Every structure is written in structure tokens, then in C-alpha cells.
């Protein structure tokens, strides 16, 4: 075991806990500082889960520290998407051309507890709960906290922020000159609803991610191990059919029943969910750089603290877990020179995080609007046909994002090349067809 | 005099003071809260002025409240730009085709004092200095301040933030869901230097904005009434020829003397300026929306607090002053319904602020790199030729930005139309020439 200096990880969420596992394996002393109480002792916040869809990138990051099996035990595979038309007609599409690969539904709170247990079981890892960061001095690595027992301070030569989209650490860095940051909200909110088990069984097919595409709005549902589904309604904040317009339980339920009839029939708790679950917000956040070097300390950002994205590609946690892998790789490459490793990590990961942020925004339009159209279904069939015809040479964007670990920006470059090649092939085929037709015409 | 509710204006800088003038004229009680001491009693911060170039938009906004004459008395007209080549060769270009129009050099601190005097001379306006905003409740309009006498609070149904790029008010709004914000820094810093008067006279032509274009870097100089020039050096933060690389007074002066020889000869205080003036940062900030409505109060943003831009089009203050005009117009249109007026103001001004932000970034490249090229000089001559040929029908972007009050986004749309028309005209002329040549050739 190498003896190394201490690392403070602010935030004991998914990325913070996995970071602690990676660092403990390298011999670091890690302290996790978490604003909330110990999640293993407290109930999760209501309506704030958005089930996660763990896919290959996340699984790969877990596998490298031996956590894939324990995590995947609690996950439910979803090999495809099930579209619910307004009249209740269902249509199913596999996510992969071979129909064998799945994204995996898992509850955020269960996953968090598993990762926290794993981190705290590693030598040198400890956690301080109910520690809300109120101050940070980048030069000394000194952190101020508010705790139930009054103010507390701590310091570490390396401070890693894994404290999520509303990161308190990043809030401090934002005041430093040269620190670029943006936050962009969608004009949409979300609300969680529930489809409970019916006679002890799933009320819908549990082997799918369910989508109710409704043009300017949509609902999705992911299965839970207790045979319920967690649904998330994505509606405009204002205008017709919005949370603002449908502001009483009666108006809400009437509109919902008219537009999501098949789901409505499965939701006995709708009024209660509507009344008690908050309306969430959808934000994309970008930072540049992802690390700041002080005189005697260095601060780095991981996960949502560096790059919060909207949930529509199911990649938020997967992308955050990839951060842990890349940081570990950079530490290995630099002989654990933490400032250099963080600089390298940030400059490498930035373009990939920017790419998945864009893809996630684009996918919202696809999910709520295009998946319902015939041309979309046709395109997916064509894509899967090409994938089977040219195995390993033509692969759809969705498969590369969800079922590979190819960095996101490389996925985009590959898709561009593929599209050019397919267009050239199609043009060639067209030219050949024209030539043949012309020859046949001349023979007549 | 109409009796109206109170308005709190946070920030007694240029835009805050002008806002107070406009609101007092409408009969509002206005309190200015300013973090700094009274500028009429304190020395300005060293190296933080960047002389302003006031042009038509700013003058128009001042004229509407009768302040143009008193302000312009202290301003020095600059009818053109003077380029300094590395070998000391000078070339002058008029900003306008007729050579008669000028942008106007004025010191920020003088202008601030004039506007503060004007605001406090209006009925119902008062100022609280050394009031640093530390808290804001959007629902009640309650503000917390730190003052030399301890904490203070105040509240108003309308809170306007004119507290600049690092706005404390906006800092509070950023935590509200749905509030979009971005800050992007250039990889350039700036440092102020001085060319003092020589034998009581200007050492350079005072009738020009002086530019030393050096490709990846540049210096500019604006005249002051005391016959000195304030110079601003824009250099990369790191890399060759950067502030980071030239980090001792010896290295700095050697590099400066080699690249800005003619200016160097006029700068006896160079070493002192280098040592004592800070390196400033260049940031573009965008917010969306520009106003937030609480239960019993409304908060609006004006000037740099809403849209900080880089200084390369000389439009920062001009654009901020236009905000005051537009807010006044919206109050007039809505019968002083402040929440509605602010919403209207924000939705109208946003695209114009975004446009000038982009133009200012683009103009940096033009100033430091292109103004030195022959093709730039040729293009400017062509533009001015077209302007004289088609008076009022062809007007350059620079003239529309600096010598008109056409909203910035409309300027961009007009320039696009003009370019299309000119290209079509050129094509037509080419076609005619080809036709004539062909006819002549046939005659032979």
C-alpha cells in the first residue's frame, strides 16, 4: 500500500462514492463530505429519483473496481423502448440490432447506498454527513462547513467536487477570474408519478422503457424491482398543456386522462402524486476549466458539478462514472501528480461532456416527438438492417452511446463518417440503377 | 408630479445613475445602493478605468434627459483610428464615410461623477454608499447590506440591478430555477499604461483612437483632457508574448520596447505602471431572463449585470444606456406597470445585447489582426466609396453601430441584406461586362 496525501471529496452521491473507491484503491486517504444525512438511515426525497438507466459506460466503470455484479443484481434490463400511442396502441423497438443488449433500470437511492457501502468498506475512506460546504479557500484547500453541531473546518491538498449540478464548490470557483460557466434551463418541468404493481405483478411489460410521446410533451416509465413503475412526466412549464395551465388536481387529471388514457387507468395514486411530488427543473451546465490550482491545493470537478445534462439520453450517471475512470487513468499516467492529472483529465473529458450534453438535448425532441412518427420507425429499421448487413462497420449512434465505451465526441465523428459513406453508397447504387435502366431502355 | 412607489437601484455606476435620472423624471422615489464609497470623495481605482468611447447611442440616451451637453463637454472627439505599425509607420482611417462623425473619449470616473451629481439633483433620489448587498428576497423585495456601521436592511417593490458584471443581485438570482446564465472569459488579460503629456502637449494626435495591432495582441490609446493618453495593452494570459511569460519588469520592458517601439519612447512611467496596475480580465456574460417576479416584488437587470461584453466595439456603456431608454419606453407603454414593463424591456433588449456581445468579440480579432492588413484598408475604402455613392442606402456596420440608434440586431439584419445586394450588383456588373466584351469580340 502506497502512502499518499489526503483527498477531500465533497458530495457522497453516485460519483463521489465511486471516486472514493477509485482513489482508495490507489492508496489515498479519502474523506467524503456530504450535505445530507447518511442515506442508509434516511428515506429518499420524494419525487426526486428519476430512475437511472445504467448502460455499458457505467457498467465498465463499476467493473474496473469490482462493483458491477453487486450493482447489476438490483437492475432490471430494458432491451428496447415501448411506445404508447394516444389510442393505447403499443409498438416495441429493440435498442440494439441484435435485440440482445439492454440499458438497465436502477433506483438512484439503491445505487447510492450500494456505492457508499463499497466506498466505506475500502481502507482509508471515511464519511462526514450533514456537512454543508459554506466556504472554500483554493490556495490552502481549507473548507468551511455547517453541521448540526455548529461550524466546522477541514483542509486537504486535493479537493474534489462531486456535489452535483448545484455544486457548492463550483459556486465558489465561479467567482475566480477566468472560470467559465453556463447554466441553461429548458422551458420544461418534470413530475414523478407511479404505476403500482397490479395483483402483485407488473402492470406493463417490465422489459422495456415505456414512452408516451405527445409532440410537445411526453411521459416515460421505468420498472422497479418491487413491480411498480416510476413514471416521469415532462411537460412545458407554461402555455397550453403545461404545469402552469393545469394547476389544480382536477384540471391536471382531466387532461392527463384524455392524453395518457392507458397509463391513467393504471394510476390509482395520481392525485396524491400530483399534490405531493415537486416540479423538477431541467438544466444543462457547462464549466471550463474543470480544475483550479491554488498555491498549496488543487480543486477538481467531477460528474454533474462539472457537466450537468438533461436526462434524455440516459447518460448522466454513466458519463459521471466515466469521469472517475479517466481521472484514475490520468493519475496512473502522471505517477499520481494530482494537479497534472486533473489538468489532463479536464482537458480530455471536456469535449466528450459537451457532446453528450448536446445529444441529450436533441434526444428530448426525438423522444417526445419523432419516436411516434412512421419515418422514425422506418429509419430505425433501416439502421438496424445496415447494422446487420455490415456488422461492426455500421453501428447506430444509440448503440455506440449506450453499448460501447467509445468517447462521446468520437461517436459523433464516427457517425458523421458513416453517414457520408452511406450517402455515397446510396448515390452509387442510384447511379448504377440509372445506368441499368438506361441500358434496358436502349435495348427496347 | 405623480406619486409612485419606491425603486431600489443597486449600483451607482454609469447605468445605475442614469436609470435613477430616468425614473425620477417619471416621479419615482429612487434609492441608489452602492458598494463603494462616494466616488466624488474617493480616488478612482488604479488601472481600472478603460476610457470609454461614447457614441450616438449613449449620447442619445443622455440627450433624452438633458445630460448630453454637460457630459460631452468633458469628451474628446475621435473621428478615426490611427494604426501604428511595428516600424512606427502611421495610417489613419476615418470612422465615417464623410469623415465628420466621431466616437468620444471620456473617463469613466468623470462620467460617473457627472451622472451621480445629475441623479442626486433630481427630486426623490438619494444614495447610500458603502452598502454591499449580501442578501435578496425576491418575494418581498427585502435586501440585506453590509455597511461600515454593521448590517442594514431595506426593501422595495422594485429592485433594479445595475451593479455591473459581477452583480451581487444577479448572484442571488442565479440560484433560482429557470434562471439561465453564462460567463465566458477570453484567454487575454489587459493592463493599463500611460503616455503622459510632453512639454504640456499631447504626445500623439488626440483626434484618433490609436491602435497598435500585433496579430495575437494589441495596444490601444485614448486621449484624456489633461493631454495624456490612457493605453490599454491586450495580451494573451499565457504562451509566448503573454503576461505569464513576461513576468518581470525587465522581460516585460524588453519585449514591449521591441514590439511597441514608438509608444515605448513616450512612456517614462512604464515600469511603474507595469508594477502597480493589475491585470484585468475580459468576460462576456449573458443572462436569461432579465427580470424575476416575486410574490410582492420584481427584480430587473440593467447594463453589465444583464449583459457584460468585451470592450472591443466601444459599446459597453452605450448599450447599457440604451437599456435605460428602453425601460423608460416600456414604462410609458404600460402605464408604469413595472413588472409588465420589465418583462417587455427584457424580451426586447435581449437579442440586441446578444448581438453586440458577438460583434465585440469579433471586433477584437479585427482590431488586433486585420486592421494592419492591406485587404482591410482596401475593404474600408470600398465601404466608404459605396457609402458616398449610395448615401443613406449603403451604410457600413461600424457606422450603424456607432453613429445610429438602430437596434443592434437590426443592424446585423441590414448588413446581411446590404451584402446580398452588393454581391448581386457586383454579379450583375460582371455579367454586363462579360456581355459587352463578348459583343466587342464578335465585332472583330
State the pLDDT at residue B46: 64
Q: Does A174 touch chain B (CB under 8 A)?
A: yes
Does the pLDDT at position B2 exceed 50?
A: no
Q: Do A175 and B166 touch (CB under 8 A)?
A: yes
Contacts of A242 in chain B (CB under 8 A): none
ipTM over 0.85: no
Topology of the domain covering A6-80+107-183+283-366: FAD/NAD(P)-binding domain (3.50.50)
A3 touches chain B (CB under 8 A): no
How do residues B11-37 score in pLDDT, each as one tens digit?
A: 999 999 999 999 999 999 999 999 999
A177, A183, A281 member nearest B181 (Cβ): A183
Asked whether the predicted pLDDT for residue A114 surpasses 60, the reply is yes
pLDDT band at B442 (very low <50, low <70, confident <90, very high): confident
Residues 259-298 of chain A whose Cβ lies under 8 A from any Cβ of chain B: 281, 283
Q: Do A182 and B178 touch (CB under 8 A)?
A: no
What integer pLDDT is reported at residue B44 of this predicted model?
65
pLDDT one-digit tens code per residue, A24-50:
999 999 999 999 999 988 776 665 666
Q: How many CB atoms lie within 10 A of CB B126?
A: 11
Contact A179 B166 (CB under 8 A): no
Which ranges of B300-407 does DSSP label H, i.e. alpha helix?
A: 304-307, 316-333, 338-368, 374-389, 397-403
How large is the average pLDDT for residues A172-198? Answer: 95
pLDDT of the residue at B1 = 34
* B288: nearest Cα among A344, A53, A187: A187
Question: Residue A225 — pLDDT band, cuts 50, 70, 90?
Answer: very high
Above 90 in pLDDT, residue A392?
Answer: no
Q: What would the pLDDT profile of A281-313 be if each residue is shown by its tens digit?
A: 999 999 999 999 999 999 999 999 999 999 999
A166 and chain B: CB distance < 8 Å anywhere?
A: yes
- Whether the pLDDT of residue A264 is over 80: the answer is yes
What pLDDT, on the 0 to 100 scale, is given for residue B45? 66
For residue A103, the distance in angstroms to the closest alpha carbon of chain B comes to 30
Decide if B184 and A179 are in contact by the 8 Å CB cutoff. no
Q: Which residues of B touch A166 (CB under 8 A)?
A: 175
Q: Which residue has the higher pLDDT, B437 or A279?
A: A279
* A185/B281 Cβ within 8 A: no
Task: Inspect the interface and report whether the beta carbons of B175 and A185 lie closer than 8 Å.
Answer: no
Size of interface A-B (CB pairs under 8 A): 38
DSSP class of residue B53 equals: E
pLDDT higher than 70, residue B48: no
What is the spatial distance between Cα A222 and Cα A238, in angstroms, rounded to a whole number? 26
The helix-helix angle for B14-25 and B316-333 (nearest 10°) equals 20
A184 to B179: CB separation less than 8 angstroms, yes or no = no
Q: With pLDDT > 70 as the criterion, what percentage of chain B qualifies?
A: 97
Cell numbers found for residue B74 = 468633458
B328 contacts: CB under 8 Å, gap ≥ 6: B22, B26, B64
pLDDT tens across B364-396, in order?
A: 999 998 877 888 888 888 888 888 888 888 999
Of the partner residues A180, A185, A237, the one whose CB lies closest to the CB of residue B183: A180
d(CA A282, CA A243) in angstroms, rounded, equals 14
Q: In this complex, is the C-beta atom of B179 within 8 Å of any C-beta atom belonging to chain A?
A: yes
Is B174 within 8 Å of A183 when comparing Cβ atoms?
yes
- Cβ distance of B174 and A181 shorter than 8 Å: no
A283 interaction partners in chain B (CB closer than 8 Å): 177
Contact B178 A185 (CB under 8 A): yes
Inform me whether the pLDDT recorded for A380 exceeds 70: yes
Q: Which residues from A are below 8 Å from B175, CB to CB? A: 166
- Which is the CATH superfamily of the domain at B6-75+108-183+284-366? FAD/NAD(P)-binding domain (3.50.50.60)
C-alpha cell at A57: 459506460
State whether B180 and A175 contact (CB < 8 Å): no
Instruction: Tell me: pLDDT of B43 over 50.
Output: yes
Nearest to A281 among B166, B178, B283 (CB): B178
State the Cα–Cα distance between residues B17 and B203, nearest whole angstrom: 34
Of A178, A179, A182, Cβ closest to residue B181: A182
Contact A281/B177, CB-based, under 8 Å? yes
3-class SS of residue B418: helix
Q: What is the pLDDT of residue A289?
A: 96
Rounded to an integer, the average pLDDT of B401-425 is 93
User: According to the model, what pLDDT value does residue B369 have?
Assistant: 86
What is the predicted pLDDT for the residue at A2?
39
Decide if B180 and A179 are in contact by the 8 Å CB cutoff: no
Nearest residue of B to residue A174, measured between CA atoms:
B183
Which site among A172, A174, A175, A182 would you substitute to test the B interface, given the most B Cβ atoms closer than 10 Å to its Cβ? A182
A238 in contact with chain B, both atoms CB, cutoff 8 A: no
Rounded percentage of chain B residues whose pLDDT exceeds 90: 83
pLDDT of residue B191: 95
Residue B231 predicted with pLDDT over 70: yes
Q: Calculate how close chain A gets to B309, using CA atoms only, in Å.
A: 14
More confident residue, B341 or B389: B341
CA distance to A59, A349, B206, per residue, from A408 (Å): 16, 9, 55
pLDDT of residue A431: 87
Candidates A166, A178, A181; nearest CB to B281: A178
Q: Does B166 touch chain A (CB under 8 A)?
A: yes
- When mean pLDDT is compared across A43-52, A199-208, A411-420, B54-63, the lowest value belongs to A43-52
Mean pLDDT of all residues in chain A? 94
| pLDDT reported for residue B431 | 87
Q: Find, in chain A, the residue whose alpha carbon is nearest to that of B180.
A: A184
A103-107, B325-329, B393-397: the lowest-pLDDT one: B393-397
Name the closest residue on chain A to residue B179, using Cα atoms: A185
**3-class secondary structure for chain A?**
CCCCCEEEEECCCHHHHHHHHHHHHCCCEEEEECCCCCCCCCCCCCCCCCCEEECHHHHHHHHCCCCHHHHHCCCEEECEEEEECCCCCEEEEECCCCCCCCEEEECHHHHHHHHHHHHHCCCCEEEECCCEEEEEECCCCEEEEEECCEEEEEECCEEEECCCCCCHHHHHHCCCCCCEEEEEEEEEEEEEEEECCECCECCCCCCCEEEEECCCCEEEEEECCCCCEEEEEEEECCCCCCCCCCCCHHHHHHHHHHHCHHHHCCCCCHHHHHHHCCCEEEEEEEEECCEEECCCCEEEECCHHHHCCCHHHCCHHHHHHHHHHHHHHHHHHCCCCHHHHHHHHHHHHHHHHHHHHHHHHHHHHHHHCHHHCHHHHHHHHHHHHHHHHCCCCCCCHHHHHHHCCCCHHHHHHHHHHHHHHHHHHHHHHHHHHHHHHHHHHHHC
**Per-residue model confidence (pLDDT) at position A1:** 35
State how far residue A179 is from chain B, nearest Cα, in angstroms.
7
Decide if B134 touches A, using CB distance below 8 A: no
- Inter-residue contact A111 to A14 (CB < 8 Å): yes
A48, A181, A284: which to substitute to probe chain B, counting the most B Cβ within 10 Å?
A: A181
Is B244's Cβ below 8 Å from some Cβ in A?
no
Best of B48, B174, B176, B185 to disrupt the A interface (most A CBs within 10 Å) is: B185
- Return the SS3 of B155: strand
Q: Which of B179, B181, B185 sits opposite A177 (nearest CB)?
A: B185
Q: State the smallest CA–CA distance between residue B399 and chain A in angstroms.
A: 32
* pLDDT at B317 (0 to 100): 97
A347 interfaces chain B, CB cutoff of 8 Å: no
Per-residue three-class SS string for B76-141:
EEECEEEEECCCCCEEEEECCCCCCCCEEEECHHHHHHHHHHHHHCCCCEEEECCCEEEEEECCCC
Share the mean pLDDT of chain B: 94
Instruction: Using CA coordinates, name the residue in chain A closest to B167.
Output: A175
How far off is chain B from A91, nearest CA to CA, in Å? 35
Report the candidate in B414, B407, B312 with the shortest Cα–Cα distance to residue B358.
Answer: B312
Residue A3 has pLDDT above 60, yes or no: no
CA distance A444 to chain B (A): 45
Amino acid at each position: 500500500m502506497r502512502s499518499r496525501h489526503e483527498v477531500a471529496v465533497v458530495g457522497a452521491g453516485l460519483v463521489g462514492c465511486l471516486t472514493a473507491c477509485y482513489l482508495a484503491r490507489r492508496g489515498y486517504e479519502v474523506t467524503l463530505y456530504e450535505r445530507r444525512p447518511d442515506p442508509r438511515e434516511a428515506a429518499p426525497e420524494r419525487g426526486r429519483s428519476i430512475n437511472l438507466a445504467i448502460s455499458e459506460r457505467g457498467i465498465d466503470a463499476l467493473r474496473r473496481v469490482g462493483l458491477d455484479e453487486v450493482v447489476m443484481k438490483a437492475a432490471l434490463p430494458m432491451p428496447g423502448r415501448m411506445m404508447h400511442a394516444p389510442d393505447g396502441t403499443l409498438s416495441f423497438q429493440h435498442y440494439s440490432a441484435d435485440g440482445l443488449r439492454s440499458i438497465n433500470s436502477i433506483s438512484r437511492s439503491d445505487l447510492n447506498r450500494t456505492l457508499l457501502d463499497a466506498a466505506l468498506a475500502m481502507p482509508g475512506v471515511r464519511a462526514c454527513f450533514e456537512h454543508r460546504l459554506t466556504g472554500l479557500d483554493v490556495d490552502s484547500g481549507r473548507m468551511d462547513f455547517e453541521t448540526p453541531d455548529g461550524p466546522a473546518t477541514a483542509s486537504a491538498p486535493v479537493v474534489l467536487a462531486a456535489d452535483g449540478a448545484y455544486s457548492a464548490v463550483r459556486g465558489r470557483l465561479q467567482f475566480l477570474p477566468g472560470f467559465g460557466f453556463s447554466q441553461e434551463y429548458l422551458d420544461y418541468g418534470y413530475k414523478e408519478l407511479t404505476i403500482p404493481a397490479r395483483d402483485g405483478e407488473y402492470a406493463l411489460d417490465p422489459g422495456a422503457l415505456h414512452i408516451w410521446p405527445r409532440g410537445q410533451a411526453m411521459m416515460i416509465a421505468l420498472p422497479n424491482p418491487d413491480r411498480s413503475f416510476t413514471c416521469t412526466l415532462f411537460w412545458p412549464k407554461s402555455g397550453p398543456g403545461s404545469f402552469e395551465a393545469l394547476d389544480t388536481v382536477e384540471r391536471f387529471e382531466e387532461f392527463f386522462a384524455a392524453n395518457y388514457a392507458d397509463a391513467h387507468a393504471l394510476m390509482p395514486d395520481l392525485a396524491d402524486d400530483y399534490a405531493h411530488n415537486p416540479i423538477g427543473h431541467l438544466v444543462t451546465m457547462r464549466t471550463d476549466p474543470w480544475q483550479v490550482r491554488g498555491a498549496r491545493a488543487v480543486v477538481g470537478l467531477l460528474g454533474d458539478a462539472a457537466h450537468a445534462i438533461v436526462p434524455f439520453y440516459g447518460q448522466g450517471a454513466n458519463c459521471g462514472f466515466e469521469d472517475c475512470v479517466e481521472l484514475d487513468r490520468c493519475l496512473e499516467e502522471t505517477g499520481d501528480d494530482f494537479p497534472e492529472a486533473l489538468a489532463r483529465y479536464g482537458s480530455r473529458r471536456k469535449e466528450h461532456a459537451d457532446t453528450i450534453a448536446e445529444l441529450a438535448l436533441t434526444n428530448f425532441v426525438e423522444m417526445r416527438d419523432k419516436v411516434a412518427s412512421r419515418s422514425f420507425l422506418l429509419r430505425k429499421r433501416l439502421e438496424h438492417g445496415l447494422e446487420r448487413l455490415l456488422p461492426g462497420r455500421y453501428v447506430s449512434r444509440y448503440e455506440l452511446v449506450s453499448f460501447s465505451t467509445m468517447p462521446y465526441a468520437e461517436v459523433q465523428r464516427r457517425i458523421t463518417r458513416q453517414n457520408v459513406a452511406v450517402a455515397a453508397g446510396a448515390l452509387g447504387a442510384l447511379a448504377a440503377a440509372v445506368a441499368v435502366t438506361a441500358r434496358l431502355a436502349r435495348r427496347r
